C-alpha cells in the first residue's frame, strides 16, 4: 500500500495518476471518509484497520490519498478538533502499515518511507 499525503490542492491526485496507470486502485480524499465515519459515530482507526484487513491480497496495489489537516489553528469546535485528531492518528496508522509514504507539495512527491 502507498500512502500519499499533503496539503489541500498540492497536486496529490495528479501525482497519484501514475499509479493508476500501473494498475493500482486509488482511494482519494481519505480525510473526507474519516469525517463521514465520525459523523456516523464510527471509529476511524478501527475502520482503517478493517479496510486493510479486507484487502490483504490486493493491498500491495492500493494507493490512499489524503489531506494533512493538522496544521494551523486549533479549531474551537469540538467536532472539528476531534476530526483533526482522528485524521492525524489514522495517518500515523496508515503510514506504519504502508510500504511507501509520499508527501506531495507543489506537485512534487517526496518519499518519506
* pLDDT tens, residue by residue, 40-76: 999 999 999 999 998 777 667 999 999 999 888 888 9
- Measured torsion, CA atoms of residues 8, 12, 14, 19, in degrees rounded to the nearest 10: -160
**CA-CA-CA-CA dihedral for 105, 2, 61, 52, to nearest 10:** -130
Q: d(Cα 10, Cα 27) in Å, to the nearest integer?
A: 17
Q: What was the pLDDT predicted at 84? A: 95
Tell me the pTM: 0.92
Amino acid at each position: 500500500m502507498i500512502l500519499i499525503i499533503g496539503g489541500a490542492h498540492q497536486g496529490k491526485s495528479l501525482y497519484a495518476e501514475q499509479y493508476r496507470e500501473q494498475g493500482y486502485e486509488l482511494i482519494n480524499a481519505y480525510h473526507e471518509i474519516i469525517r463521514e465515519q465520525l459523523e456516523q459515530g464510527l471509529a476511524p482507526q478501527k475502520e482503517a484497520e478493517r479496510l486493510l484487513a479486507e484487502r490483504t491480497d490486493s493491498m500491495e496495489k492500493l494507493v490512499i490519498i489524503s489531506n494533512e489537516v493538522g496544521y494551523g489553528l486549533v479549531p474551537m469546535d469540538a467536532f472539528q478538533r476531534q476530526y483533526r485528531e482522528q485524521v492525524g492518528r489514522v495517518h500515523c496508522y496508515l503510514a506504519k502499515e504502508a510500504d511507501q509514504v509520499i508527501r506531495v507539495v507543489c506537485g512534487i512527491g517526496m518519499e518519506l518511507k
